[in-house]
Amino acid sequence: MNKFRIVLRIVGWLVVVAGIAAGLVWFFVLTPWLKATQPEWTPDRSLLGLWKDRQRMISVFGWSHDDGIYAGQFGDPEMVPDLVQSMVRGDGISCAGGHREAGLAFLTNHPGPEDWSLGEYWQKWWTQHQNETQEQWFQAGFAEQGVAVHLPPDLADAPALLRVLGSKAPTHFDSPPPEEVSMEETFAPEFLRFNAFRWLRDSGFDPVEFLLKREGSVSEEEAKGLREFQYWKRWSQTAVPGRLAFAPSDDWGWGIPNDRKPQGLTPSGNLWIGGILLSIIVIGLLLLMGARWMRSKLKS
């Protein structure tokens, strides 16, 4: 009888601790992580919300796979010195370092070498260009790829930027299978394409006005760029992070709200999960109460 009481007490404490631990992990670890990595988990997700969640995850858990790409697309130029130092230390490279080398490419519009001399390259680059603006970095990066853009922005640069934007097969659901893409096509780096979109977006580019001025006459490459611009325009939502300095300063946004149904982190879903965890804790408490009752019976 006494041995059974001891076992009951141990099991009760284990169940209570397990329930509390599971609740802490779910609500304070897994929920923020899921929100940061799966935008469709909340019904009103915006890119700004996604970037804030990602920043919280980086501050708590450090850099993980693809965090550098988020930083490059949504961060600001003030992040560049720290990213450069991570290249110098060698801890910001590849998946293990969060692909911070990709973040630098997106933030500066320069790719860097594709080898382990990244630290030396970026330290030298930063020494030479640290007093320039991000827009000047972008302008120089486009020029290195043979695309001339003006500062302040000039909408006459739109055709060249559209050709950059459309120079790779789309990566969204409407894209053709890889085997249907000709190997002779020009493939621009992803950072260059995204920055072409960003330059067009923040300079006030209007695809309808562009088509009207051209009387509907556009090249195949420009048409691809327009399709990609429209796709990314829908992807970007209100309160877009990562805007360039010449973007409108008022509160503005692009695209349509995220109307996908939440797939897990709904109030009812969290209520069910919380109820299950609470039930586990209650079961543990009942076991402890049973052990205490048995102890009182033994004493009597």
Q: What pLDDT was estimated at residue 257? A: 45
pLDDT score at 160: 92
CB 255 within 8 A of CB 233: yes
pLDDT of 106 > 90? The answer is: yes
Question: What integer is the mean pLDDT of 90-118?
Answer: 82
Q: Does 242 or 117 have the greater pLDDT score? A: 117
| Residue with token string 């039930």 | 279
Most confident of 61-65, 162-166, 269-273, 286-290: 162-166
| Predicted confidence (pLDDT) at residue 116 exceeds the cutoff of 70 | no
**Is residue 170 a contact partner of residue 161, using CB atoms and an 8 Å limit?**
no
- Is residue 57 a contact partner of residue 36, using CB atoms and an 8 Å limit? yes
Each residue's pLDDT tens digit, 15-38: 999 999 998 888 888 877 776 666
User: Between residues 119 and 132, which one has the greater pLDDT?
Assistant: 132
Is residue 81 pLDDT above 90, yes or no? yes
- Tokens for 188, please give them: 């621009």
Mean of pLDDT values over 108-132 = 88
Whole-number pLDDT of residue 236: 54
| CB neighbours of residue 37 within 10 Å | 14
**C-alpha 129 chain-centroid distance:** 26
Checking if the pLDDT of 101 tops 70, the result is yes
